Structure 1
Amino acid sequence: MSSTGAGGEIGRFLTIADAAEILAVDVATVDGLVRSGELPAIRVGTSGPWRIERAQLEVWIEMQYEETRVGVAWHEGEFSNIVELSGARSSRLRPVD
Structure 2
Amino acid sequence: MTTPRTREVGRFFSLADAAEILAVDVSMVDALVRSGELPAIRVGSSGPYRIERTQLDLWIEGQYRQSEVDTAWNEGEFANVAELSGANQRHLRAVD
TM-score by length of 1: 0.72
Please, what is the CA RMSD of the aligned residues? 1.7
Aligned residue for 2:54?
55
Find the residue that maps to 2:44 and give its secondary structure: coil
Q: Which runs of 5+ in 1 are unaligned?
A: 1-5, 81-97
Does the C-alpha gap of structure 1 residues 7 and 72 become closer, same or farther in structure 2, counting only changes over 3 Å?
Answer: closer
Higher mean alpha-carbon deviation, 71-80 vs 18-27, is at 71-80
Query: Structure 2-normalised TM-score?
Result: 0.73
Q: How many angstroms apart in 1 are the aligned matches of 2:45 and 2:20?
A: 25
| Matching residue of 1:32 | 31
**Partner secondary structure for residue 51 of structure 1:** strand
What is the count of residue pairs matched by the alignment?
A: 75
Sequence identity (%): 68
The residue type paired with residue 21 of structure 2 is I
Give 1:18's aligned amino acid. D
Q: What SS does the aligned partner of 1:78 have? A: helix
1:46 aligns with 2:45: yes
Query: Any stretches of 5+ residues in structure 2 without a counterpart?
Result: 80-96
CA shift for structure 1 position 77: 2.6
